[in-house]
Each structure stands twice: as C-alpha cells, then as structure tokens.
Amino acid sequence: PGQGDGDSGGAQAAAAAAAGGSSARSQPQPQPSRGWLGRCPRLRTLLLELLLVYISVPFLIRLFPAILTKFIFLNFLAFPFFADLRQPALLLNNTVSLRLDTEPGVSVGIWHTVPGSRGAEARGQEQSWYEEALGDAHPVIIYLHGNGGTRAASHRVQFMKLMGAAGFHIVALDYRGYGDSSGYPTESGFTTDVLALYDWVKARSGNSSVIFWGHSLGTGIATNAARKLQEERGVQVDAVVLESPYNSIREAAAHVPITTVSPAALHGGCPRCPPPAPVATQQASRSLPGRFTGSSRVSSTSSWTP
C-alpha cells in the first residue's frame, strides 16, 4: 500500500507539472516593439507621398519646361495676399497708383512715390500732379523687384520709404503677370514693360537722372533693358544699381535644390529657343547724386533672395 501511495503521488505531481507547463505555454508572448512609423500608418503614408512628389517634380519639369517658369518667377506667390494695390496710401505716404499700357493687351500696375520733402504738397493730389512732380530735378529710381510677391511686399515698401526720405522719386512696377498687372511673365515681356516705363518717365522727368535699380531677378531685367537702350537707341542710362545680382538664371537656380534650369524656361517653354546669354553688369556712365554715392562704380551683393 505504501508503494501504491507513492506511485499515486508521483503521478499527481507529474500531472500538475504538465498542467503548469501547458498553462505557461498558453500565456501570450510579448510582441517586439514597432517604430513610430509603424504606430502611425497615416504619417507613414503621408511621408511616402511627399517623397514621391519630390522625386517626380524634376521629371515633370523635364517633360514640361513651362512649369519651370513658375519656379523661377514665382509670380503666383502674390504676397501680401490681401493688399489693395490700388490704395498705396495704406502702406506708403506720398504715393499714387497708376497703370501703364506697355503693349497691346498688357497693362502693368505702378506706384510712384515722391521725395519726402514734397510730402506735404502731395496730400490729396491727383495723378497729374505726381506726373508733373517728376520734373522737379530730383533723381528718379525705376525699381525692379525680385521674383515672388508684389510691389507691396514689406521689404520693397521699406526700400521705397528709405529712398523717398533720401530725396528720390521711386517708380516701382509689377511686371506682367505679377500683382495687378495683366499678361504672362516672360523675359522679353519684362524688358518691354521696363522700356515702356522708362520712356514714360523720361517724357516727364526733364533733365532729372533716371536710375535702374534691380534687385535679384530685377538685376537681370535692369541690365537687359539698359543694354537694349544702348544697342538699339544709342541711349545710356544714367545709372544701373544691382542688388543681389547673378551671372545667369541657370547659375542662380543651381542653389535651388528642387531642380536645374532648362534653357526653354525663359522663352515661355520653347524647347527650340537658344539658351539665354549670361547677364552682363553695366556700370553707370555718370555718378549718382552726391547724397547717394560719390563714385560711378556701384558695388553689389551676391546673395540670391526674392
């Protein structure tokens, strides 16, 4: 009987151990931890879509060169987005808004700011008064802004305030396709707009100095307009000031990581057109007025900004 009891106890112990092992095996095993992308499937999908877009853009630009004009000119970024360009007095004193037809079907918006010394006279005056004021012997700056935005952008308004206080007339335009100007942006079209504005200013400014002041993209437009005046009319601009200039659009775009420039971009997407020639800097033929600088050599910076 003692031996039987021992066998029975051993069997019970074995059964209990087997049951314990089965119970241990039935417990869920801890899962390996997944990364944050695995826990956020929507974020993972979004990142993959953004990567696909980033990779696709250069190929799309190669297939459709006209798209590149949007990246170069950025005229669709019409900041400040809610500015009323017809009411410059909301941002600038001594300023009038006007329009100029530069060629059939194209009309550009312009602001004319008179020197600060004439601010009291300018209050409540009409456009005709501002046009007559151009002949008051103060030098005139034709301001050619960079890509993106309008003439109402804050840094451009600050420039007009500064130069107005220094005794200059400032005539700032939005090229075709920018701001409230009609038309579509092209290199040749920009030059046409600037030459039309130059003629308009010269017809009213008498013997006053007329200066092209280009910033960024506007430096290429300024030098191209000055070159055409010299080559086609034998007219030399009184001064050309280049702020943040570049040698060519291709070189400037090399600093933009999204793509490189195709030669067709500046010719409205024409793949057979020749590549643009490098921009040449034209120095002023005469010195600017003493209040501005005493030398005909105008220094310039080389940063690439709008």
Bridge partners (DSSP) listed for residue 108: 100
Q: Considering the domain boundaries, does residue 263 fall inside one?
A: yes
Measured CA to CA, the distance from residue 227 to residue 281 in angstroms comes to: 10
Is 136 in the same domain as 216? yes
Lowest mean pLDDT among 5-19, 36-50, 95-109: 5-19
pLDDT reading at 152 higher than 70: yes
What residues pair up with 96 in beta bridges, in sequence order?
112
Is 64 contained in some domain? yes
Rounded mean pLDDT, 213-232? 96
User: Is 0.85 topped by the overall pTM?
Assistant: no
Helices (H), 134-177: 154-165
Same-domain status, 82 and 58:
no
Q: How confident is the model at residue 161 (pLDDT cuts 50, 70, 90)?
A: very high
Domain count, the chain: 2
Query: Which range among 168-172, 242-246, 291-295 shows the weakest confidence by mean pLDDT?
Result: 291-295
In a domain, 35, yes or no: no
Nearest C-alpha neighbor of 292 from the set 241, 243, 245, 246: 241
128 and 148 assigned to the same domain: yes
Residues 6+ apart with CB under 8 A from 38: 44
Q: Where in the sequence is the domain holding 279, given as residue range(s)?
A: 40-73+257-283
Asked if residue 267 and residue 238 are part of one domain, the reply reads no
Q: Which of 267, 104, 247, 130 has the alpha carbon at shortest distance from 185?
A: 267
Question: Phi, psi at residue 155, to the nearest 5°?
Answer: -70, -25
Most confident of the following: 53-67, 91-105, 250-264: 91-105
Q: Which pLDDT does position 58 carry in this prediction?
A: 76
